Amino acid sequence: MNQLTITFRQLIFLLTGIFFLTTTSFSQAPQLSEKSINDFQVKGFHLDLRIQIMKPEALHNLAEELAGFGMNTLIMEYEASFPYESHPLIPNRYAYSKNEIRSFISFCDSLGIDVIPMQQSFGHVEYILRNYKYAELREDQKEISQVCPLEYDLNKKLFTDLFTEMAAEHPSEYFHIGGDETYLLGHCDECKEFVEENGKSNLYINHIKMLCDIVIDLGKRPVLWADIALKYPEAIGNLPKETVFIDWNYGWKLNHFGDVEKLGASQYEVWGAPSLRSSPDNYFLSLWDKHLKNFHDFIPAGRSLGYSGMILTSWSTSGQYSTLFEARSKIIDLSPIRIVYPLTAFRILIAAYAEAIIIENPLDINSFLIDYCNERFGFNKKQTKEFWSALTTTPNELLNGNVYNENTLNIAMMLDSTRKAVKTLKKFKPVQNNAEYEHFILMMEMRENYLHFNELERRANSDDFKSVQLPQLLSELELVMEKAKRIDKKYILLNKDVYYTSELELENESRNLPVNLLYNRLNRIR
């Protein structure tokens, strides 16, 4: 490559090197030219550790990767992976040790990355409320995602304990308290009565203010997701002036939750947040084009609104869980409703985001893809076009045996297109970064097998399905199951350096459960 004509984008790709599957280290982040630096003071990444807990070494490699991309902030949504000593029922089997966390934060500090801890403290706290020790805090005894905001003293004691212990390990001036998607706001009888007299905004803001005050007493600035405050803004001015809001927008209109212009013009600091993985992304579907368009549209909008930061969110699951109960409502277990393919496959979107936040104009998606695929895999423009077309083929959801919101497309047609896409992806041989490319192939193989199963399931549910057709259907289900075994092995092989094998095995089991259940039910009849 001619060093005199190397582009800034190519420099970034070269300096950031190999994704965090490797242990390649970098001495410093790339030096950005003044022309490339924009008005976002906070250039960040959000790591969701609700499931898919990364090994400590993998965390270090990710931090190096992010620093190489010019990011200076990492929000750690630990959930049950933080090793609370004051509340030992909360951490899960994959929780980090305090020494591992201290080592990681020190390493990030050496890279110029501020690690902001996040502790959900209103909704999305199933992993806490599942334990009957905290049952009195539940807004609902069956839907255990949310604390009752009127349990003021109990909430204050619990979250003072948790915030204090977590804040002690994080030097950052910020502390993220969550606060999003409080769908049960005003649900219990006491809260309904409160809302009738005082409104939902006061119910929400009173609890959030209590949490913010705890954070400020710890010498930190509270950060929270902006959706509920935007939806019920009447009492928002009661929050401390130190509060930072994050306006998350994954492709909808700017005022989807509420008036963002008023929020941006308020006394509060505001950051924006596009997404790398979000609904309906899952094991079998990733809406690549949607996320690139999200970067293209929302990041410039956030800049024009005066947002001082931008955070790329990375949701491993929806944050909603299916709860398994025994008699008298004792909770046995929680299962995430939606699981997304691990972060190991999404370097290309991290790179796109990293470019989008440092350029003045909206991201040129086509130009970005051509440069990225050339630098990472050695593809020319024609190969890049074929690769991207294969990766994004028929990105449609399924619902009850049909293609969701689509009358001209059926599962069989999607399956045929996906099989062709797999062949296209396999025909290309990258000159480098083969491990990264293998994730794309595996993701498409998963989708192919998923569509094959759904086509068989649709046939089994049709009105004209009879017992005489069982042998043929079972034979095809066996093919799906055999292919699933090969996919499972490859899934562990490609991800075992980043995630724990035991968790990957559980994901394989969960992913294959619908196929195995249908096969065993039908096989019993034969």
Taken in order of first residue, the domains within the chain and their CATH numbers are 8-365 (3.20.20.80), 380-525 (no CATH)
How does DSSP classify residue 497?
Answer: T
Other residues' Cβ atoms within 10 Å of the Cβ of residue 40: 21
Q: What is the pLDDT of residue 320?
A: 84
Q: What is the pLDDT of residue 332?
A: 87
How far is residue 419's CA from residue 396's CA, in Å, rounded to a whole number? 15
How far is residue 60's CA from residue 105's CA, in Å, rounded to a whole number? 9
Give tens-digit pLDDT for 135-183.
999 999 999 999 999 999 999 999 999 999 999 999 999 999 999 999 9
How does strand 398-399 pair with strand 402-403? Answer: antiparallel
How far is residue 52's CA from residue 339's CA, in Å, rounded to a whole number? 9
Sign of torsion over alpha carbons 354, 358, 364, 368? negative
Q: Which residues contact 311 (CB under 8 A, 6 or more apart)?
A: 42, 44, 45, 46, 73, 75, 246, 271, 272, 273
Q: What is the pLDDT of residue 231?
A: 97
* Upper half-sphere CA count for residue 250 (Cβ side, 13 Å): 14
Residues of the chain where predicted confidence (pLDDT) is lower than 70: 1-38, 525-526
**Using CB atoms within 10 A of its CB, is residue 207 exposed (0-12), middle (13-18) or buried (19+)?**
buried
How far is residue 454's CA from residue 475's CA, in Å, rounded to a whole number? 15
Angle at 361 between CA 356 and CA 364, to 5 degrees: 65
Q: What is the pLDDT of residue 126?
A: 96
| Nearest Cα residue to 121 out of 212, 256, 229 | 212
How far is residue 136's CA from residue 321's CA, in Å, rounded to a whole number? 20
Give tens-digit pLDDT for 350-359.
999 999 999 9
Contact 32, 89 (CB under 8 A): no
Q: What is the pLDDT of residue 525?
A: 57
pTM > 0.75: yes
Number of H helices, E strands in the chain: 17, 13
